[in-house]
Structures are given as structure tokens and as C-alpha cells.
Homo-oligomer: A and B are copies of this chain.
Amino acid sequence: MGLNRFTWHGGGLAAARAQFGDGPWLDLSTGINPCPWPHAGAVAAAVDWQPLPDESALRGLEQAAAAHFGCAAAQVCAVPGTEIGLRLIGDLIGGTGCHAVPGYRTHVEMLRASVAVADPESADGASLVLANPNNPDGRLLTPPMLRELLHRRGDHGWLLLDEAFADAHPQASLAGDIADARRLVIFRSFGKFFGLAGLRLGFVLGPRALLAALRARLGAWPLCAAALAVGEAAYRDGTWIADTRDALQERAASLDAALCSKGYTVGGACPLFRLVRGVDGAALFDHLARQHILARPFADRPDWLRLGLPGDAARLARLVQALPSHG
């Protein structure tokens, strides 16, 4: 299968095992926090899977999430993974538009005949899909810059802002700007910052009329019982959230220092992943994969390789040892 599975999305560990052999793999192919919120197992083990989830549990989750995002609960709709949210909103808004590149693969598929734009300021008047911080390059725009981009949408375009990796940057979120009269939609992901991607939990923030249409597509019980229970408890754990913001920055700084010491150029504001530039991405991917370390190459940027955070000092040491010196 070559690189195809690995440039499609991160997380293809079964494919990696099939191609490069079984063993204790170190998966750095995603931007998922390797040190997850620690109570998911206990909360999920107490879940009663038998009844339909009660509506009140969904409202409780949306209230806890809204408090974390900094907006009203009525402006938040929980979805079974941001992937579904991105695709349903693209369809509900309709029409054509643009997506910022480099960017996340699914953004390309949200709007019909979407046009790639390298400079978001070049797409005035059209709907625009954009991630902040951006994936994979970690570019972080400030709220004034984002508001300017929203203003440039004119009277008909929407700003569709993917804040999947924004939990580490609360000051950069535009969640407080969501309003019924504003064509701004924000997507948030639970699994990345909280390190629990298997829960499939995401959120769409937007005008209430749009969320009503989204809820009509989702039906009465969009989330499994574990997503409701774990999500609400985790969003209410302010101490863990604050500690994790600090810890991620420290861990990213350690990774950067190690990469620099080996001669690599690394960048991006998002601590959940680091982008290595100016390398032969396919060769470096292959070199690491043969040592059972899974990185994230890009089909259209052969000079890039994205690395997620190693979960501890031993895993960081394993990565550093596996990396050839560069330059």
C-alpha cells in the first residue's frame, strides 16, 4: 500500500503493523494528547448501556462544554465526532467556497467545488474553511485577525472555523463571538486535547437556527452513553485542564529542543503536534516506521513530516535515538 494510507489520515496503526511488522509501536501520527484525561475508564465502566441516553444528559454535556468554550449552551450542539459535524455543516450551509491550505483533509470536502487558498485574505466574499491553530503547520491567528477574516466574508459567506486543537490556546478562540446574526461556525473536538479520540465526541458552535437544522439531521440521541458521561465530567475538571495546558507546552518544548539538537527545523504554535520542515518526508517516515515509530507524512508536501508528542521521557528518548541527524 506504500504511503497512501499514511498520508490519508493519522492513526493507521493496523496498516503500519501489516506493512512494517508487529511489536511495541510508538504512534506519533496524530495530534492526540498521549496523556489522556485519566478517569475515562472509570466513568465509562459505570455507564449503563441499556437505556436510551436521556435528553438531560445531552443538555448537561452541552452546558459543561459551553462553559469550557466560553459561549452560551444554546449555541453548542454535540456531535458524534467533529468529522460528522464538519460534513453536515458543509452540506447545510451549501454553496461553494474556499478552504485554507495547508489544512486538514476533510476541509477540502466540506463545500462543493471548494477552492484551495494559500492566503485566506484572498478569498473575500466567499465562505471560508480554516483551522486555528492550523493543522499541520500550527499557524495561530489572533482573534482580531479572525474577526477581519469574518468581516471579509461579506453579506453571504460563512467563516467555518475549526478549533479542533484550540483547547491549549483559550485566548485564541472565537467562541465568544458566536451570535445568531453572525455567519460564524466553530468546530471543537473533545478527543485531541483530552486524549480520548475513541470516544468520538465533537461540537458545533453557531447560530441557533443552524444548530436546529443540524439537530434535525442528528435525531434525538446523537451520542453514546459513554461520550455523554465522560465528556461532561472531563469538561468540568478545570484543574486537569489547566495542568494539561502547562504540561503540553513543556512537553512540546522538550520535543523541539531534541529535534533542534539533531539539526531539524521545527515549527508551529500548537503543542499537540510539531511540523518538521525541509526533510525528505517519505524517507524519514520510512526510516522511523522501520523502527516502529509512526509519523505523519503528506502527499502534497514531500518536504514535511508531522510528529505528535511522545507521552513521556522514555518515548521521547526512543524517538530521538531513532532519528538520524539532519543537515
Contacts and interface: CB of A to CB of B under 8 A. Distances in A.
Interface stretch (A51-59, A140-148, A318-326): A51-59
B49 A222 contact: no
Interface string A165-196: 00000000000000000000000000100011
A32 B51 CA distance: 8
| Residue among A195, A197, A219 having the largest count of chain B Cβ atoms under 10 Å | A219
B50 A198 contact: yes
Contact of A45 (B41, B51, B56, B84): B41
Interface stretch (A7-15, A120-128, A295-303): A7-15
What is the count of identical protomers in the complex?
Answer: 2
Interface residues on A, range: 35 or more
Contact of A9 (B49, B51, B220): B220
Contact of A49 (B40, B220, B223): B40
Nearest to A90: B217
B217 A84 contact: yes
A199 interface: yes
Interface string A218-262: 111111111100100000000000000000000000000000000
A97 B224 CA distance: 31
Nearest to A92: B91
A286 interface: no
Contacts of A109: 216
B41 A49 contact: yes
A81 interface: yes
B198 A222 contact: no
A113 interface: no
A80 interface: yes
A44 B226 contact: yes
Contact of A198 (B34, B51, B217, B218): B51
Contact of A84 (B41, B196, B222): B222
Interface in A79-116: 80-81, 83-84, 86-88, 91, 106, 109
A199 B14 contact: no
B36 A49 contact: yes
A219 B49 CA distance: 25
Interface in A23-76: 27, 30, 32, 34, 36, 40-41, 44-45, 47-56
A30 to B, nearest CB: 6
Q: Which of A9, A40, A80, A197 has the most CB of B within 10 A?
A: A80
Which one of A10, A56, A109 has the highest number of Cβ atoms from chain B below 10 Å of its Cβ?
A56
- Which 6 residue pairs are nearest across A and B when measured between Cβ atoms? A83-B219, A198-B225, A11-B52, A49-B198, A80-B80, A200-B224
